[in-house]
Amino acid sequence: MDVNVQFADATNSVVITYFASPQDAGAYENLGTVATSDPQWASFYNSFAPNSQRNLPSPG
């Protein structure tokens, strides 16, 4: 499953935001998608407390 994200910069190496749907590229920079199986997604997901993780798609 792919999720809509915003990356920290143009290198697309660090996920900083999750969006439930695609966003306007004119309003946000460095948008993209990552698979929930991607280590970048797991790192972002694991940065949240368990009670907040339930609002995000699980890695894997």
**7-52 per-position pLDDT tens digit:** 999 999 999 999 999 999 999 999 999 999 999 999 999 999 999 9
Task: Give helix then strand counts, H and E, for the chain.
Answer: 2, 3
The three-state secondary structure class of 50 is helix
pLDDT for the residue 53: 97
DSSP alpha helices (H): ranges in the chain? 39-46, 50-53
